[in-house]
Amino acid sequence: MARRKYVVGNWKMNGLSASIADARAIFAGVAGHPAVDVALCPPFTLLGAMAAVPGAVVGGQDCHRAALGAFTGSIAAPMLADAGASLVIVGHSERREGFGESDGDVRAKAEAGLTAGLSVILCVGEPRDVRESGSAIDYVLAQIAGSVPDNFDPQRLAIAYEPIWAIGTGLVPTVDDVAAMHGAIRGALAGRFGAAADAMRILYGGSVNGDNAAELLGAADVDGALVGGASLTSAKFLPIVEAAAVLG
């Protein structure tokens, strides 16, 4: 099954109101590549303003498992949708590692996002010691088993494989390693969901940039990229989108 390439920028805790100019430049450039799905996930404070940018597709970087309630400082999935978001990232390693989120927590957040009508990007990935021990695939497939909900529209949930040791470090696994992991993820999804898994996109994330995007995006079962620091400006982000467009 042919799957459209999907390139998503995660701005993390970066961006003030002046950064909307960068978003305008990015989405203006993206307009020239209609065959690629592109989105930006800014801080919550910029969601509304960025959603108003012509051609923008925006998402949240996290959401609470509950739709409302006494959870000071948290953001519910319906709030994201109300602010103009069409997707949400859940289970990023910075949430799993820094905030102690379990597979069960990530699953509940994914279900909350889907229930609110959002698409979901669900992140998985291994730390360096697990990679070096040779058990990276088993580790990631256990995250898949524990984090991915049972009932959902497969076109509304994407998996993002981000080896923790490659995020923001400049280190990148070999293309063969990326292809092997994505193939294992695809196989696990197919084993669980059957033919419906063909519609699910699997993104790669971890020090993706304009120089390595074509090689990484050309690997088997790599349907796009989840991009961190390189998504903050059009000069760095658009070459990744262009590489995706060439690959179709």
End-to-end CA distance of the chain: 13
Q: What is the DSSP string of 178-231?
A: HHHHHHHHHHHHHHHHGGGGGG--EEEESS--TTTHHHHHTSTT--EEEESGGG
Can you give the residue ranges of every domain in the chain?
6-14+36-45+56-68+86-247
Q: What is the pLDDT of residue 109?
A: 98
Which of 92, 94, 101, 242 is an active site residue? 92
Length reported for the chain? 248
For the beta carbon of residue 197, count every other beta carbon within 10 angstroms. 18
How far is 213 from 48, CA to CA, in rounded Å? 29
Whether the predicted model's global pTM rises above the 0.95 cut:
yes
pLDDT tens digits for 4-62?
999 999 999 999 999 999 999 999 999 999 999 999 999 999 999 999 999 999 999 99
Output the average pLDDT for the chain: 96
> Measuring CA to CA, which residue among 91, 230, 236, 215 is closest to residue 162?
91
Which of 101, 126, 162, 242 is an active site residue? 162
Q: Are 180 and 136 in contact (CB under 8 A)?
A: no
CATH of range 6-14+36-45+56-68+86-247; options 3.20.20.70, 1.10.10.10, 3.30.565.10, 3.20.10.10: 3.20.20.70
Structure-block tokens of residue 210:
């304009």
Structure-block tokens of residue 114:
């889907």
pLDDT tens digits for 174-228?
999 999 999 999 999 999 999 999 999 999 999 999 999 999 999 999 999 999 9
pLDDT tens digits for 115-170?
999 999 999 999 999 999 999 999 999 999 999 999 899 999 999 999 999 888 88
Residue 126 is a catalytic residue: no
